[in-house]
Structure 1
Amino acid sequence: MGVVSTPLLDEARSIFTDLGYTVSNAGTELRAERKWRVVYVTASNPDETPEHGELRCFVTREDHASSLCDDLLARAPEYDWAVMGLTDTGGYQIHHPTISEGLPT
């Protein structure tokens, strides 16, 4: 797996907590739970596409989000995924394979 960026995971933990998720460490990634949903949160671009989980969120800086989406589309993992692009101003955009442009927050 690629290099884990602790600041990315720290920002993702804060965002998911603010959204009402219970967040815990799951090895080199996070596990965010809310109601029936369990979302595995991975920082940046993994060398190998994780195989477990039904919902995944890949976290990167906004300027890398499009290329990460393209990479994931080419890998075609068999789970629902999104990319969270973190901005320099503390915000984020969600990129999903069925959405042509990121959703601002």
Structure 2
Amino acid sequence: MGAITTTLQKEAESIFTDLGYKVAADDSGLRAERKWRVVDVMPMVEPEELPSSGQFRCFVTWEDAVDTLAHHLADVDPDYEWAIIGVGDEDYEVSHPPTTRLAT
């Protein structure tokens, strides 16, 4: 794991810990647990090979890479719920997949 990814991993761990999750490192990134929910957290600098399975996944990247990663996820249309956390200099923002619009 490179220095930037390690920094993103620390940011992700801090964010989820502050949200009340118990966080532990695993083979693909982090595993965040709280109550009944388990979230697989994947820090990534830019879109790369995405996991093909899971239930809840959260991708953590820099704020300027959020749109690119969101488009990549939308194109792949994985079979799990996902969100992206875009980390900025002093804060972060959570993005969710767009909802399907009904034709009018």
Please indicate the TM-score interval, normalised by the length of the shorter structure: 0.7 to 0.9
Q: TM-score, length-normalised on structure 1?
A: 0.84
Match of 2:38 in 1: 38
- Computing the radius of gyration from Cα coordinates, the structure with the larger value is 2
Sequence identity (%)? 47
Moved more, 45-54 or 9-18: 45-54
Where in structure 2 are there 5+ consecutive unaligned residues?
Answer: 100-104
Alpha-carbon RMSD across the aligned residues, in angstroms, is 1.8
Match of 2:98 in 1: 98
Match of 1:66 in 2: 67
Aligned length: 97
Deviating above 4 A after TM superposition, structure 1's stretches of 4 or more consecutive aligned residues are none
String of CA shifts for 1:11-54, please: whole Å, max 9, x gaps.
11011001000000111300000011000010114532112320
String of CA shifts for 1:56-97, please: whole Å, max 9, x gaps.
0001000110110000000110000001000112x1001101
Q: Distance in 1 between matches of 2:97 and 2:28?
A: 24
- CA 57–79 in structure 1, closer or farther in 2 if over 3 Å, else same: same
3-state SS of paired residue (1:67): helix
Q: Distance in 1 between matches of 2:53 and 2:79?
A: 9
Q: Are the aligned partners of 2:54 and 2:79 in contact in 1 as well (CA < 8 Å)?
A: no
Q: Distance in 1 between matches of 2:94 and 2:47?
A: 18
Where in structure 1 are there 5+ consecutive unaligned residues?
Answer: 100-105
Q: Are the aligned partners of 2:33 and 2:39 in contact in 1 as well (CA < 8 Å)?
A: yes
